[in-house]
Amino acid sequence: MSKFTYYTDGAATMIRKNGKYLREAGGWAFVLLVDGKKDSFQSGGCPLTTNNEMELYAIYASMKDFLSKADSGDIIEICSDSSYCIDIFTKWAVNWQKNGWKRRGNKPIENLEIIKAIWKLMAEIENDSFILNFVKVKGHSSDRFNNEADKLAVDAKQAAFKSKKTVGYDGKNDNLLGGKSRLA
C-alpha cells in the first residue's frame, strides 16, 4: 500500500476595467509525493479563467493522475490551500447532489461542470477501494511543496497568457478548462 500526496494549487488574474472585473489567464499545478518522496509534477493553464476554476482543476488532474498509477488499497491525499475547494467536497457537494446540483434557495453552483467531474472521480476512487483524504494547508507559508505547486501554477498562468493556449492534464486540451466568458 502506497500513499500518494498531491499538493495542488491554482492561480489566475482578474483585472478591473470600466467598473467591471474581466477574467484573464490562469494556471493550475500539482506536486506528487509517493510515500513521502517527491515523484512528479504537472501544470497547465488557460487564457481565460478564474482562480477557483484553476484550484479545482488541479484537484481534478491529481485524481486523474492517481487513478492512472495507483493499486487497490492505496491512499490519495489532496493538500490544498483553498478552503473553498476542500469545503465543496467534504461539506457541501453531498447536499448539492441531493438537491439536483443546486445550492440552498435553488441558486446555481459556479464551476459545476468541473465539480461534478471531480465528484465522479471521487466515486471511482471509493469504488476501487482507495482511501481519499483532503488536507487544508496554509498558503504562502513555509510548506515547501505547497510553495512549489504555487510557483508552478503562476508560471503556467504566465505561459497561458503569452501563448493563449489551454493546457490540461497530461498536456492535453480539456473541455473542463476555459469555458468562461471574459466578464466575471
Q: How far is Cα of residue 86 from the mean position of the Cα atoms in its chain?
A: 10
In a domain, 24, yes or no: yes
In a domain, 110, yes or no: yes
* Confidence class for position 136, pLDDT limits 50, 70, 90: very high
In a domain, 7, yes or no: yes
pLDDT at residue 91, as a whole number: 95
In a domain, 62, yes or no: yes
pLDDT at residue 180, as a whole number: 62
If one counts the domains in the chain, the total is 1
pLDDT at 182 exceeding the cut of 60: no
Buried b / exposed e along 126-161 (16+ C-beta atoms within 10 A): eeeebeeebeebeeeeebebbbbbbbbbbebbebbb
pTM of the model: 0.93
In a domain, 176, yes or no: no
pLDDT at residue 95, as a whole number: 92
In a domain, 179, yes or no: no
* Confidence class for position 179, pLDDT limits 50, 70, 90: low
Domain range for 133: 3-171
pLDDT digit string, tens, across residues 102-124 = 988 888 899 999 999 999 999 99
In a domain, 184, yes or no: no
In a domain, 129, yes or no: yes
pLDDT at residue 83, as a whole number: 95
Q: Which residue has the higher pLDDT, 140 or 183?
A: 140
pLDDT at 67 exceeding the cut of 70: yes
Residue 100: give its domain's CATH number: 3.30.420.10
- What distance in Å separates the CA atoms of residue 118 and residue 112, rounded to the nearest whole number? 10
